[in-house]
Amino acid sequence: MGRLSAFLLVFTLVAMSAGPLLAPPSPSDSPIEVFDTSGRALVDFTVSDISFGNVSSAASTFTQPNGSSVDYIYVRETIALSFEFRNAGTRLDPASAVGTMEVWHPIGFVVESWSVNLSLAGGQSTIESIDWTPAAAHSHLSDDGTLGGGYILRGSVDAGVLDGNEANDVYDENIIVALYHDRVESALCGDVDGDGSADCPNALSVPMWVGAGYDVGNDFSIKDEGQFQMLASSTSAEGNRHLQIAGDSGVYISSRNDRMWWAWPDANQNCNDGFESLGYGQNDGTLSTAYGTYICTVQVKGFDFVSLQARVQAWGSMGQGDELALEANTGLSQQRLNLSEATIGATSADWTPVIWNMTDVFPNSNYGLAFHFSSDNNDATQGIHVDDLMLFGVERVDEYTIDLDCNEPTNGVFNVIPADPSPPSLRCTLTNNGYRTVSPTIHTKVDNSSWMSQFPLRIDSTDPLDHDNTVTMMPVDAGNTSEFWVNLSIPAGSNVETVNWSVWLNDSVNAQNKGQRHFDVNVVSSYSASFRQTNIVTPALTLPPTATGNVTMSLQNTGNEDVAWSFGAYFNDPLWSNSNLEWFDSTGTPMTSIMVARGATVNVIAQFTAPDDAVPGPVEITLLTNAVPPASAQSTWSIQIEVPPVTDLSISAMSDEITAPSNGQMVQVEMTLINNGNSDENYNLSLQANYLLGASLSIQSTGLLDAFGGDTTVYLILPMPSLLRPDLYLIDVTATSESDPNYEVTQQIRLTVPPTYALTVEDLDMSGQTFSPGDSCRTGKWEVTNIGNMDDRFSIAVDHPDTITVELRDANSQPLSPAETPVVAPGSSYNVTFCYAFVEGTSGSQTLSLTGSSINYDGSGDAPSDTGSAVFDVGTQGWINVVGQGPMVIDRAIQTETLTFELHNRHPTVSQQIRLDVSANEMTAYGFNPRVVESDREFQLGPDQRRIITVEIEPSEVALLNLPLDQITRNFTLEIDADLDTVEYLQEITFVRMQSQSEGTSSGLDVIGVLGVIFGVLIVIALLVVFVRIVMGTQQIEDEVVSLADYQSSMEGKYREIAPAPEIPTAPNMMPSQDAFTAPPAPSVPAEPIYAPAPAVPAVAPTEPVYTPAVPAVAPPPEINPPQEFEITVPLEYSNSVFAKVISQNGIHDGVAFLSFAGGYDADGNGYLRQSELDRAASEYVAGGHNQPTTSPAFTDEQLIASGWTQEQIDAARASGQI
């Protein structure tokens, strides 16, 4: 029994060890592969391979440009997917696992998913197959012909904890899904080459190519089946046929507009059954009519594709101006891929792929596809052959994924304190990976329900209105990014704990989750507070200086410990300090600290008092509360107190009661303005008073007055004009703040105007008038005005020189007696009539004054009076110059004798009216009546103009015969009355008595006898002279020079005894650049000398002509640019000699100097000069530059009388300034 048991035990162990060797093969019938099991896990499930397609539904192959190949499938076609799972472990007994087979869209969602239970021993594998029909294409053909894109086939396996290697549990394979491939094997067309049979197979299929020929220029009218042919050829790019446009002649037809449409015949006539890849068509009525069957053109829905590419193969060439293109046609517009311009093979069967990226071709429209052929009239060729149309694209799908990116904390944990001033805040960015616009919904919460009841979460997103913890965002376009923020507030007094915070996104339609984030919020122990205004306003207070105000503050102990709190403040203005602040509790009790439980809230009051010197503007104040130790925490709150400008101005006048008469004497009232406000201020000043006062202020604005006492002074100016009614006048001076026009201060001045007696006597303006002496009395009026404020009478007195006679007259032209006015009301005047005349011989400026004095004045002080004056220009003023022809002799009776005079208006700017008359009382007594010719009696003479006037006299024979003496000399006066001058020119005429015939004969004999006696006497004298010269010759020669010298010396001594006239200063130059030889500018009176004829000398006429020089007058100022002129100065003792004649004729200025010079021309040395010697001396004196001007001598009356002047003539000449 023992042995049998032992045997059975050994047998059992051997059988169990050999069991795995005797196990049946795996379900896949695959042989067991031998693996290197050294170092492997016992169980290691993996996905070793993924493939697609089988014999019944094989995948297609695409050759890449680099020669490699890639497999792909077509959309909406079912394909077999195979996933190979393997247990690569070393354990011999089967292990269990779950295999998952998935199709992932590239944007990140699972399209299809299958699972399978696996049981595999180490080294065993199994292949699981499933069928999949892709609903949307996903492929992309690059411009260089590289095919990409596609879905992800993912196999994964999960063996649980037994799987010793999880790194190989997932395997991915890419699968490209193309849109469609048309091999161009079926077409419908007509008899293109005219051989009686169609040039296309014309076997209806779905889809196929349908030809149509259109009129050139009209795409809506089909005229035939077009020129496209389907050629059966073994050299086709794909299949056995392809399209061409050349006929049997080998060239295409000119002037064509043909299309080969991608279409299909539809027996159901709804264009919906189509073919699987596109599944949508549109009936073309013209095509249907042309072929007698219902034809649908294939329609591409551009809005269904994210991207789309077409590839066609072609070879051949086109003539100039002709085209073969792949066309996208919406019916109203077309876009084309011009194959004529593509780089394609030109030789037969040299097929070249041409790619058209149609992503932007009508992306929002439906369109059909066709080959389009157009040709002109020239240069036809064999044309282009086309074949093998393939479509690749990425179709839009409704599913989408979102990439969520947030600024997550380190380790996913937020460490916070209760009422954290910097609470957790997430800034997240989401990206829409889908192909359509989406509106995701954001959710957030914390797992502490007590927190959630306080609404601590806030979401800020593109929705401007919704901010709670669930917010649907505004639409996000495909591929776009949008931001949002999630903020978490930590409740005050929160316990020390850890709270989970979640944020997730859901689809707003189906609530499918699109992303989520989870964080831990760790609340730590802390002391903290929230300190803020209960009613937040800015400014918190408005306090003028010294004012007091309260700010109520809320204090919450936000920490998680009970603690006491103290209070303080910081000020940004040095004028403010803690002395301006007091703290009170909510009951109004002063306090310095307060105990607050955790999470509790109390109110405290901060009371502020503004400093006395607080200046306007904001004051920034930081209020703070500190935890009382041992706790340590602080909270602050900033407020602003506004100190407003305080306008406070005082005005004080030196006197506000003023009494001043209405007499034109200005009165000033001083006022001081002081700015008592707290800011620099400018005040505008205004005045309100009776306009009759004419009151004004010295300034209109105070300027900037310093705060707290800045001052200025202003004067109220009262001109106290005449005629103010006696009364009390109120004057208001108002200062208005420039910064606050509503603030103003007024100072009132009370002005008392008493009864006032005053008058004015006008000054008469007699300028521009000239008056002649000796004229009869003229009448004038002198206005006396009562400028006082009371009725008054005025006494009148005149003051005048003896050269003026004045008589006051009343209204009846009777002498005014008494010399006073009637009563004159205030503001009224009385015209005093006076008659005035000038005494004969008066000249120059004459002044007449009239004084009026108040009679009714109140008797205090001197009687008010005023004096007016009138200045008369009498006689010659120098503006009119007269040049006559000198003394005249009339010794025979002629019909008319004329005398000419030159008149010169010397005024540089004013024209003068000239009036001429003749006064000839001395001549009329003898029957001689000079007169001014009619045309010269009155005329106008312009500035600096001259005019010759004529005076006529008719000496009758009777008058000349009846002269009482042999000759008489009489004068007449030419009277010139001009606007600015009065001139009298004295003209001397000597009348010689005519003799009767008998008197003439007797007189002639007497003369002959006398002449004979004289001749004999002269002969005797001549002989005596010759005798004496012979005897005295030598002695005479020695004495010649001495005698002449003595004569000259005696003359010089006598002449120099006469003091020279004072030198007349030269007028100033008009411009600085003038020199001494430049004519000086014109002054107010003329400078040309006035030559008055010398008075008659009652002496026997000399045998030689006597030249009487003009008596010099006071030289008036020079003319504008006149020629240089000087007076001729001649010693009076020679005024009637030949010497005087020579001096006058040669314009010699200094007679004494010339006398000394002429001594050297005494040829015979006898001490006397002949006229010929004087003439030669004068000529050389002038030519040699010796003729220099000199001043006129000042003659005494005795010297003038000795020269023949009368005392009357001397006085008149001195009065007129001539000497």
561 falls within a domain: yes
What's the DSSP call for residue 219?
T
Q: What percent of the chain has a predicted confidence (pLDDT) above 90?
A: 53
Same domain flag for 511 and 538: no
Tell me the two tokens of residue 37. 């099991």
**Domains contained in the chain, number:** 8
Would you list the DSSP string of 222-238? Answer: EEES-S-EEEE-TT-SS
Q: Is 22 left (phi over 0), alpha (psi -120 to 50) or beta?
A: alpha
Residue 1117: what pLDDT?
A: 36
Same domain flag for 554 and 635: yes
Residue 1126: what pLDDT?
A: 39
Residue 16: what pLDDT?
A: 52
Place of tokens 């000496």: 955
Max mean pLDDT range (57-71, 248-262, 1115-1129): 57-71
Tens of pLDDT, residues 192-209: 777 788 889 888 888 999
955 falls within a domain: yes
Tens of pLDDT, residues 302-335: 999 999 999 999 999 999 989 999 999 999 999 9
pLDDT tops 80 at residue 1016:
no
Tell me the two tokens of residue 369. 């596809």
1058 falls within a domain: no
Contacts for 334 with CB less than 8 Å, ≥ 6 apart: 327, 328, 372
From residue 504, alpha-carbon distances to 398, 742, 841 in Å are 21, 63, 131
Tell me the CATH number at 141: 2.60.40.10
- Identify which has the larger pLDDT, 903 or 1036: 903
Same domain flag for 622 and 687: no
Would you list the DSSP string of 746-768? Answer: EEEEEEEE-----EEEPPB--TT
User: What mean pLDDT do residues 676-691 have?
Assistant: 93
Same domain flag for 384 and 246: yes
Amino acid at 1057: E
User: What mean pLDDT do residues 1008-1037 have?
Assistant: 58
CA distance 377 to 397: 49
Same domain flag for 230 and 271: yes
1158 falls within a domain: yes
Last residue of a domain, one of 753, 777, 796: 753
Tens of pLDDT, residues 815-868: 888 889 999 999 899 999 999 998 888 888 889 999 999 999 988 888 899 999
Amino acid at 575: L
Tell me the CATH number at 791: 2.60.40.2310
Same domain flag for 836 and 914: no
- In our burial notation (b when 16+ CB lie closer than 10 A, e otherwise), range 362-399 reads beebbbbbbbbbbbeeeebbbbbbbbbbbbbbbbebeb
Tell me the CATH number at 218: 2.60.120.260
User: What mean pLDDT do residues 34-63 have?
Assistant: 82
Residue 3: what pLDDT?
A: 53
Same domain flag for 601 and 669: no
Q: Give the range of the structural domain holding residue 608, as residue numbers without chain letter.
A: 529-643
101-115, 405-419, 1116-1130, 1173-1187 — which is least confidently predicted?
1116-1130
Confidence bin at 60 (pLDDT 50/70/90): very high
Place of tokens 């060797």: 21
* Degrees, nearest 5: CA angle 488-492-494: 85
Tens of pLDDT, residues 544-565: 999 999 999 999 998 988 999 9
Contact 100, 81 (CB under 8 A): no
CA distance 431 to 443: 17
- Identify which has the larger pLDDT, 1097 or 405: 405
Same domain flag for 654 and 772: no
605 falls within a domain: yes
| Cis peptide bond N-terminal to 25, omega within 30 | no
Q: In sequence order, what are the beta bridge partners of 522?
A: 415, 498
Place of tokens 């102990």: 557
Residue 1078: what pLDDT?
A: 35
Residue 139: what pLDDT?
A: 97
pLDDT tops 70 at residue 1091:
no
Other CB atoms within 10 Å distance of the CB of residue 622: 13
1083 falls within a domain: no
Residue 859: what pLDDT?
A: 81
14-23, 477-486, 512-521 — which is least confidently predicted?
14-23
Contact 435, 397 (CB under 8 A): yes
Helix axis angle for 1138-1146 and 1171-1183, nearest 10°, is 30
Residue 1190: what pLDDT?
A: 54
Last residue of a domain, one of 331, 361, 395: 395
Of 934, 840, 791, 870, the C-alpha closest to 1211 is 840
Last residue of a domain, one of 126, 156, 178: 178
Same domain flag for 174 and 184: no
CA distance 403 to 61: 34
Confidence bin at 1020 (pLDDT 50/70/90): low
pTM (global) more than 0.85: no
Tell me the two tokens of residue 480. 């776009």
Same domain flag for 167 and 241: no
From residue 355, alpha-carbon distances to 63, 303, 390, 1052 in Å are 14, 20, 9, 139
User: What mean pLDDT do residues 114-120 have?
Assistant: 95
pLDDT tops 90 at residue 672:
yes
1173 falls within a domain: yes
128-132, 261-265, 450-454, 1073-1077 — which is least confidently predicted?
1073-1077
CA distance 456 to 501: 11
Residue 355: what pLDDT?
A: 97
Same domain flag for 102 and 122: yes
Other CB atoms within 10 Å distance of the CB of residue 276: 13
3-state DSSP helix/strand/coil percent for the chain, to nearest 5? 15, 40, 45
- Identify which has the larger pLDDT, 1041 or 149: 149
Tens of pLDDT, residues 948-995: 999 999 888 888 888 888 899 999 999 898 888 888 888 999 999 987
Residue 1147: what pLDDT?
A: 77
Q: In sequence order, what are the beta bridge partners of 260?
A: 211, 371
Other CB atoms within 10 Å distance of the CB of residue 997: 6
Confidence bin at 14 (pLDDT 50/70/90): very low
Handedness of CA 760, 761, 763, 769 (dihedral sign): positive
594-603, 1023-1032, 1045-1054 — which is least confidently predicted?
1045-1054
Same domain flag for 367 and 445: no
12-16, 111-115, 379-383, 648-652 — which is least confidently predicted?
12-16
What is the pLDDT of the chain when averaged over all its residues?
83
1026 falls within a domain: no
